[in-house]
Amino acid sequence: LQSWGSLFPWFGLDIGGTLVKLVYFEPKDITAEEEEEEVESLKSIRKYLTSNVAYGSTGIRDVHLELKDLTLCGRKGNLHFIRFPTHDMPAFIQMGRDKNFSSLHTVFCATGGGAYKFEQDFLTIGDLQLCKLDELDCLIKGILYIDSVGFNGRSQCYYFENPADSEKCQKLPFELKNPYPLLLVNIGSGVSILAVYSKDNYKRVTGTSLGGGTFFGLCCLLTGCTTFEEALEMASRGDSTKVDKLVRDIYGGDYERFGLPGWAVASSFGNMMSKEKREAVSKEDLARATLITITNNIGSIARMCALNENINQVVFVGNFLRINTIAMRLLAYALDYWSKGQLKALFSEHEGYFGAVGALLELLKIP
Amino acid sequence: MAECGASGGGSSGDSLDKSITLPPDEIFRNLENAKRFAIDIGGSLTKLAYYSTVQHKVAKVRSFDHSGKDAEQDHEPPYEISVQEEITARLHFVKFENTYIEACLDFIKDHLVNTETKVIQATGGGAYKFKDLIEEKLRLKVDKEDVMTCLIKGCNFVLKNIPQEAFMYQKDSDPEFRFQTNHPNIFPYLLVNIGSGVSIVKVETEDRFEWVGGSSIGGGTFWGLGALLTKTKKFDELLHLASKGQHANVDMLVQDIYGGAHQTLGLSGNLIASSFGKSATADREFSKEDMAKSLLHMISNDIGQLACLYARLHCLDRVYFGGFFIRGHPVTMRTITYSINFFSKGEVQALFLRHEGYLGAIGAFLKGAEQDNPNQYSWGENYAGSSGLMSTSPELCPTQRTRSGTFDLLEMDRLERPLVNLPLLLDPSSYVPDTVDLTDDALARKYWLTCFEEALDGVVKRAVASQPESADAAERAEKFRQKYWSKLQTLRHQPFAYGTLTVRSLLDTREHCLNEFSFPDPYSKVSPTRAWELRQHPACRPQQTCQEALRTPTELGDSRADPAARRAVVRCEGRGSRCMGLGEPSLLRSTCPWSLPSGRGGSGPCPCPLPHPLAGLSSPSSRGCRTGFLVPVLLPCVWGHAVACQQSLDPLARRCVSSPTRPAPPSQGFQAKCSWASGLRGHVHGPDMCQPALAGQCPGFLSGPPCSAALLSWRGASGRGACPCSAWVSHLSTGEAERKWHRAEVLPGRGARPGLAGLGGEAAGPGEGPAGRERLRLGGQGCV
């Protein structure tokens, strides 16, 4: 007996400030009978989404994240993870109209600010009714669910050992046996920090506007790069110590009185006050410094929140961390160093998709 | 004047940067008496501190013992004024741009007479860089001091010694500056120093502080990143750009993500969701102004957030901000304040310091002076020799900046003993001696500034007349006129320059300026007998409400062991009257010389309803005496007492008498205040000088001799300084004509100014006639 909510197609949508995250459940246990009954538009959607890894010029399916043979609401299938920039939202709505989504008698469960912003467009252009869901509810639901199903037999959660040492650094699985309390740091365009005490008991502690959007935005202005990947690639080749003023640049070494190590950044972009040094840095250096600045700051705020909330495990999620090992290792190191080993930084394979997963779970009324 | 070429200067085309003119009578004053130097060299500004001794004239008042005599009959003068030379200590602080450092060092070398000084304490990031230059130029050994230690030493010092040092800044309220009362206990607090990076320090006691955290996103980030983004090289220019920009063009706001729906969610759409979030595109150009503004918001918000997180972790609610990022810039103070309010939901106060730029130099100086134990003295800001807040802020007053060059000054005078709070005050930190806040009340401010401007001629005349034997009196008086005039003009544009502007502070400034040009008491030649007569008016009746601001002797408690306070509190008891004075014991008598003469203000016991203040004063409350001000406080129950006690008070002491505080919340309804300071002043200078001060309390009494009733004032439920006396009320509620009428009474040098005329023995105004007295009496009773 299927409720209205679980008529195919099963989508979960998270429309953020920069990226739209879409999860799509592809049923693999479709009976011949069902296949017969499946309307053409539904079939075409399924084919379109599963047979491509890129959609248009900007849509991408993260194939490596696909969760295989997942059982959801009694159905077996694969969960696909797709993203595209928020500025392509009109094209997405147009596609929905072209593919005649409205004939499917389905509901689109959507979260994120864009669920509000584009609600009217969905209705008037696509003839689609959006079910708007709370961002943070979806995020937490999504994380807890994805963690519980694992990652195709592997662990969803991981951490870094020896994060500062590029040779000895290791990414190791972490089993979140006792997830509560948990500090959840979601780094999208901006950053939200939540303290999670149980499945339904959480609070938003604070947030900061210095997030992934700031990194990418500043990189665009400083280096002329056009994609997040390009910005990260430049950062990986740069040297931030040419841009930043370190403690040792001021004190010649460690500032022992305050227990500050010489390598610590005293002033982000501090060297750029000097004309000579401005002329001597490369775009790669600037990209790296931007990345380090934003990441350190998030780490610092997260650490203070963890202290104030008396929580010692911190999970960092969000698309800022996608393919961003530099940032993850830095967060892991900074948290460990400044807390003298008290705090542990954890990461999750499906970084930015938890909101969309949460929206899908809402659609299926999975508690 | 010395025309000095400055070193460096860089590639800037600004000719100001290349050479400067040093006017020695304004900058580096008194160098010939200077000893002990300290220097704080920051990234762009140098702060030099030195100590000097100043010889100046002091008016001493000697009072006569009238006990056993009837003052009414023998008409003996109640006091005698003599002028003496006195040497006092002064601290000088000079702030200038680093480009002038060589020129300044040359200037000091050329003018330095004292050769005992061997060492100069140096702090700040640039101390290392300029070490050789200083050693070569001044032939002093450079002793490097830790930056943070100096900063905190300096911060403690200004918080303790300078009234209304700290303020809150609220851009859109009027006034923008909310000055804070000096709290008897300044600890613990959080100091957030925003230099190129950010240091967050928890200060627990005079000597104990802890670096609790920091951030690399600070002033250097604003400057460095700003220079990269806008190609603007100078910090101040970046701030100027930022003040003109629209951050919403660059930042991604909540409303950009949520569309118009944010209202229904109870979110403010203007919140920044992602700083620079909109710049993540290759196909758009952004204006320099918008980027600078966005950067400023990003950095200020981030610092504010971290400060709140640290304040919360350490359970502190007072956070002082300093460092070159702040440096009195309204735009940064505004964004920091906004951020603190937002992140702490109003639980944490963002406080700024008037002398924030000098903290390092003050601290370095104190380090070098440690053998002297600065805590055994009190220090006070000399308004005549200090530039005031934001004197060099270009956005505020461009002409001002050109006039004062790029130099900023602070001078502090020393009082040879620590000041304490009056032990009898119920709550020193909420005690407000001033009823009219001229920073707050623009109408009253205009009125009083005009009063003082128009009175200036008369004061200059009196000053000249007070020193008939001096050849250069006229010349000095003219210099005084110029100085005070320019101070008044500064205060018109920047009422907040020296903290809350009050009639009292206007008088203080005048006094400092007079002292500056060796006029310790322009009224010394005014007949004391005449003054005394005027003080005997029946309306000089103490107010019952005095009591409300004071503790009863039993409330003083048992903790009365503080010897300083014990020494300070002395009993004066006169014939039938009771009063209390605080000052040097040697100057006070066992019997009060100024008991109320019988038949004048009333014979028999003093009508002062205060409980006998002497019970238990052998061991005054140590709680009230630990820090702060207010040694010399008088109950103005009988005017003469004040004269007796003021002998022990030098100008600084008198100034420190009052510790202005926040106005009491209007909800408390009518709350009476006793204006000790003004009372003192009245006696020190005679009614002529004190007219405005008294009038500040209640102009109703202007038409008669000053009296104690005038010292007591009321703060109405409206929170506005108002006395129930009808004159003041009507003054506030009527138009220009009424105000002019009042002014005519107030101003010296005019016919219709009875109180003044009475003293000077010149004209007979209505206040001296029976009708005037009658009116006064009614006014006085109205206050009871």
- Residues A272, A290, single domain; the answer is no
- pLDDT single digits (tens) A207-266: 999 999 999 999 999 999 999 999 999 999 999 999 999 999 887 888 888 888 999 999
Is the CB of B213 inside 8 Å of chain A's CB atoms? Answer: yes
Residue A146 lies in a domain: no
- Residues A251, A223, single domain; the answer is no
- Residues A286, A276, single domain; the answer is no
Name the packing angle between helices A283-309 and B288-313 (round to 10°): 30
- Residue B126 is predicted with a pLDDT of 79
For residue B330, name the pLDDT band (cuts at 50, 70, 90).
Answer: confident
- pLDDT single digits (tens) B580-630: 222 222 222 222 222 222 233 322 333 222 222 222 222 222 222 222 222
Q: Which residues of chain B from 297 to 356 reach within 8 Å of chain A, CB to CB?
A: 298, 301-302, 305-306, 309-310, 312-313, 343
Residue A4 lies in a domain: no
pLDDT over 90 at A161, yes or no: yes
| A188 interaction partners in chain B (CB closer than 8 Å) | 274
Residue A3 lies in a domain: no
> Which percentage of chain B shows pLDDT scores above 70?
54
Q: Collect all residues with Cβ–Cβ distance below 8 Å to B91 and sequence separation of at least 6.
A: B49, B50, B51, B362, B365, B379, B410, B411, B412, B413, B414
Where is B121: in which H helix or E strand?
Answer: strand B119-123
- Residues A300, A233, single domain; the answer is yes
CATH number at residue A177: 3.30.420.40
CA dist B277 to A66, A86, A184, A210, B491, Å?
A: 29, 12, 22, 9, 43
- Residue A21 is predicted with a pLDDT of 97
- pLDDT single digits (tens) A195-208: 999 988 999 999 99
Q: Distance (Å, rounded) from C-alpha B107 to C-alpha B138?
A: 10
pLDDT over 60 at B433, yes or no: yes
pLDDT over 60 at A293, yes or no: yes
pLDDT over 90 at B555, yes or no: no
- Residue B712 is predicted with a pLDDT of 27
CATH number at residue A120: 3.30.420.510
For residue A59, count CB atoms less than 10 angstroms from its CB and return exposed for 0-12, middle for 13-18, buried for 19 or more. buried
pLDDT over 80 at B571, yes or no: no
> Which percentage of chain A shows pLDDT scores above 90?
78
Q: What is the mean pLDDT of residues B85-112?
A: 84
Is the CB of A339 inside 8 Å of chain B's CB atoms? Answer: no
| A308 interaction partners in chain B (CB closer than 8 Å) | 309, 312-313
Residue A213 lies in a domain: yes
Q: Distance (Å, rounded) from C-alpha B188 to C-alpha B314?
A: 10
Does B33 or B37 have the greater pLDDT score? B37
- Residues A262, A330, single domain; the answer is no
Domain boundaries, position A41: 10-138+354-364
Q: What's phi and psi for B448, nearest 5 deg? A: -70, -35
Of B379-393, B466-480, B528-542, the poorest mean pLDDT is in B528-542
| A267 interaction partners in chain B (CB closer than 8 Å) | 195-197, 216, 218-221, 224
Q: Distance (Å, rounded) from C-alpha B155 to C-alpha B355?
A: 9
CA A106 to mean position of chain CA atoms? 27
Does B379 or B69 have the greater pLDDT score? B379
CA B206 to mean position of chain CA atoms? 22
Task: Reply yes or no: is the peptide bond before residue B175 cis, omega within 30 of 0.
Answer: yes
Q: Distance (Å, rounded) from C-alpha B588 to C-alpha B632?
A: 12
Q: Which residues of chain A from 237 to 266 reach within 8 Å of chain B, CB to CB?
A: 243-245, 250, 257-260, 264-266
Of A13-27, A248-262, B380-394, the poorest mean pLDDT is in B380-394
pLDDT over 60 at B136, yes or no: yes
For residue B518, name the pLDDT band (cuts at 50, 70, 90).
Answer: confident
Q: Collect all residues with Cβ–Cβ distance below 8 Å to A357 and sequence separation of at least 6.
A: A12, A23, A79, A138, A141, A142, A145, A146, A350
Does A64 or B62 have the greater pLDDT score? A64
| A213 interaction partners in chain B (CB closer than 8 Å) | 252, 273-277, 280
Task: Reply yes or no: is the peptide bond before residue A9 cis, omega within 30 of 0.
Answer: yes
- Residue A30 is predicted with a pLDDT of 86
Angle at B252 between CA B231 and CA A190, to 5 degrees: 105
What is the pLDDT of chain A when averaged over all its residues? 92
Taking the CB of residue A213, how many other CB atoms lie within 10 A of it?
31
Of B215, B277, B301, the CB nearest to A189: B277
> Can you tell me the ipTM of this complex?
0.95
- A233 as an active site residue: the answer is no
Using left for φ > 0, alpha for ψ between -120 and 50, and beta otherwise, residue B382 falls in beta
- pLDDT single digits (tens) A66-107: 999 999 988 999 999 999 999 999 999 998 888 888 888 678
Q: Distance (Å, rounded) from C-alpha B712 to C-alpha B550?
A: 13
Comparing C-alpha atoms, which of B677, B758, B708 is closest to residue B594? B708
Residue A117 lies in a domain: yes
| A242 interaction partners in chain B (CB closer than 8 Å) | none
Of A116, A222, A258, the CB nearest to B261: A116
Return the top range by mean pLDDT from A294-308, B44-58, B262-276: A294-308
Partner-chain contact B310 A304, CB within 8 Å: yes
Q: Distance (Å, rounded) from C-alpha B300 to C-alpha B318?
A: 17
pLDDT over 80 at A344, yes or no: yes
- pLDDT single digits (tens) B188-215: 999 999 988 999 999 999 889 999 999 9
* A143–chain B nearest CA distance, Å: 22
Name the packing angle between helices B219-230 and B235-244 (round to 10°): 70
Q: What's phi and psi for B237, nearest 5 deg? A: -65, -35
pLDDT over 80 at A180, yes or no: yes
| B221 interaction partners in chain A (CB closer than 8 Å) | 267-270, 293
- pLDDT single digits (tens) B600-611: 332 233 322 222
| B228 interaction partners in chain A (CB closer than 8 Å) | 222, 269, 272, 278, 286
Q: Distance (Å, rounded) from C-alpha B682 to C-alpha B344?
A: 45
Q: Distance (Å, rounded) from C-alpha A326 to C-alpha A164?
A: 10
Partner-chain contact B298 A214, CB within 8 Å: yes
> How are beta strands B671-674 and A245-246 bridged, if at all?
unpaired
> How are beta strands A10-15 and A108-111 bridged, if at all?
parallel
Of B214, B259, B282, the CB nearest to A116: B259
Q: What is the mean pLDDT of residues A30-51?
A: 87
Q: Distance (Å, rounded) from C-alpha B498 to C-alpha B163?
A: 9
Instruction: Give the residue on A whose Cα is nearest the Cα of B234.
Output: A273
Around B751, how many Cα atoms within 13 Å sit in the side-chain half-sphere? Answer: 1
- pLDDT single digits (tens) B255-266: 999 887 666 566
Partner-chain contact B274 A211, CB within 8 Å: yes
- Residues A248, A293, single domain; the answer is no
Which of B473-482's residues contact partners 24+ apart within 8 Å by CB, and which partners?
A: B476/B517, B476/B518, B476/B519, B477/B517, B477/B519, B479/B517, B480/B513, B480/B514, B480/B516, B480/B517, B480/B519, B481/B456
Is the CB of A313 inside 8 Å of chain B's CB atoms? Answer: no
CA dist B648 to B287, B528, B590, B595, B631, Å?
A: 63, 19, 16, 19, 10
Partner-chain contact B196 A244, CB within 8 Å: no
Residue A250 lies in a domain: yes
Active-site entry in A26, A119, A135, A284: A135
- Mutation choice for A interface testing from B146, B257, B325 by most A CBs within 10 A: B257
Residue A147 lies in a domain: no
- Residues A132, A224, single domain; the answer is no
Comparing C-alpha atoms, which of B201, B167, B171, B178 is closest to residue B316? B201
Residue A272 lies in a domain: yes
Contact A195, A305 (CB under 8 A): yes
Instruction: Give the residue on A whose Cα is nearest the Cα of B315.
Output: A308
Q: Distance (Å, rounded) from C-alpha A246 to C-alpha A253?
A: 9
> How are beta strands B34-41 and B119-123 bridged, if at all?
parallel
Does B158 or B551 have the greater pLDDT score? B158
Of B220, B264, B277, the CB nearest to A217: B277
| A278 interaction partners in chain B (CB closer than 8 Å) | 224, 227-228
Q: What is the mean pLDDT of residues B362-381?
A: 79
The residues with which B166 forms a beta bridge, in sequence order, are B353
Is the CB of B708 inside 8 Å of chain A's CB atoms? Answer: no
Q: Distance (Å, rounded) from C-alpha A109 to C-alpha A131?
A: 5
State whether residue B286 is helix, strand or coil: coil
> How are beta strands A157-161 and A170-174 bridged, if at all?
antiparallel
* B239–chain A nearest CA distance, Å: 14
Torsion of Cα atoms, A286 then A288 then A294 then A299, to 10°: -150
CA dist A196 to A158, A199, A202, B143, Å?
A: 19, 8, 4, 53
Of B228, B262, B275, the CB nearest to A278: B228
pLDDT over 70 at B674, yes or no: no
- Residue B62 is predicted with a pLDDT of 62
Partner-chain contact B224 A266, CB within 8 Å: no
- Residues A255, A313, single domain; the answer is no
Partner-chain contact B305 A305, CB within 8 Å: no
Query: Where do the DSSP E strands lie in chain A?
Result: 10-15, 19-27, 54-55, 59-61, 67-72, 75-85, 108-111, 130-133, 157-161, 170-174, 182-187, 191-196, 202-208, 245-246, 265-267, 313-317, 344-348
Q: Which two tokens stand for residue B97?
A: 């741009």
pLDDT over 90 at B524, yes or no: no
pLDDT over 50 at B332, yes or no: yes
Partner-chain contact B282 A224, CB within 8 Å: yes
Q: What is the DSSP letter of B164?
A: T
Is the CB of A214 inside 8 Å of chain B's CB atoms? Answer: yes
CA B77 to mean position of chain CA atoms? 35
pLDDT over 60 at B352, yes or no: yes
Q: Distance (Å, rounded) from C-alpha B404 to C-alpha A326?
A: 51
pLDDT over 90 at A278, yes or no: yes
Residue with tokens 């000697």: B62
For residue B420, name the pLDDT band (cuts at 50, 70, 90).
Answer: low
Does B162 or B44 have the greater pLDDT score? B162
- Residues A60, A192, single domain; the answer is no
- pLDDT single digits (tens) A305-340: 999 999 999 999 999 999 999 999 999 999 999 999
Q: Which two tokens stand for residue A192?
A: 């939200």
Does B477 or B765 have the greater pLDDT score? B477
Of A17, A112, A267, the CB nearest to B221: A267
Q: Which residues of B466-489 are buried (b: 16+ CB within 10 A; e: fewer)?
A: bbeeeeebeebbeebbebbeebbe
Is the CB of A307 inside 8 Å of chain B's CB atoms? Answer: yes
Angle at A197 between CA A192 and CA A200, to 5 degrees: 85
Q: Distance (Å, rounded) from C-alpha B93 to C-alpha A251?
A: 27
| DSSP for B370-403, written as a single string | GGG-GGGSEEEE-GGG---TTTT-TTT-HHHHHH
> Which percentage of chain A shows pLDDT scores above 70?
98
- Residue A100 is predicted with a pLDDT of 83
Comparing C-alpha atoms, which of B38, B37, B34, B35 is closest to residue B145? B38
Domain count, chain A: 3
What is the pLDDT of chain B when averaged over all its residues? 64
Partner-chain contact B274 A257, CB within 8 Å: no
The residues with which B740 forms a beta bridge, in sequence order, are none
Is the CB of A273 inside 8 Å of chain B's CB atoms? Answer: yes
- Residue B432 is predicted with a pLDDT of 65
Q: Which residues of chain A from 142 to 201 reach within 8 Å of chain B, CB to CB?
A: 188-190
pLDDT over 60 at B309, yes or no: yes
- Please, what sign has the CA dihedral across residues B696, B698, B704, B705? negative
CA dist B604 to B68, B127, B600, B748, Å?
A: 13, 68, 11, 36
Partner-chain contact A221 B229, CB within 8 Å: yes
- Please, what sign has the CA dihedral across residues B517, B518, B524, B525? negative
Angle at B731 between CA B726 and CA B736, to 5 degrees: 150
Contact A96, A49 (CB under 8 A): no
Q: Which residues of chain B from 267 to 296 reach within 8 Å of chain A, CB to CB?
A: 272-282, 286, 291
Q: Which residues of chain B from 16 to 55 reach within 8 Å of chain A, CB to CB?
A: 43
* Confidence (pTM): 0.76
Q: Distance (Å, rounded) from C-alpha B767 to C-alpha B774?
A: 9
Q: Distance (Å, rounded) from C-alpha A313 to C-alpha A291?
A: 23
- Residues A171, A301, single domain; the answer is yes
- Residues A162, A272, single domain; the answer is no
* A38–chain B nearest CA distance, Å: 35
Q: Distance (Å, rounded) from C-alpha B436 to C-alpha B696?
A: 7
Of B197, B258, B272, the CB nearest to A267: B197
- Residues A235, A326, single domain; the answer is yes
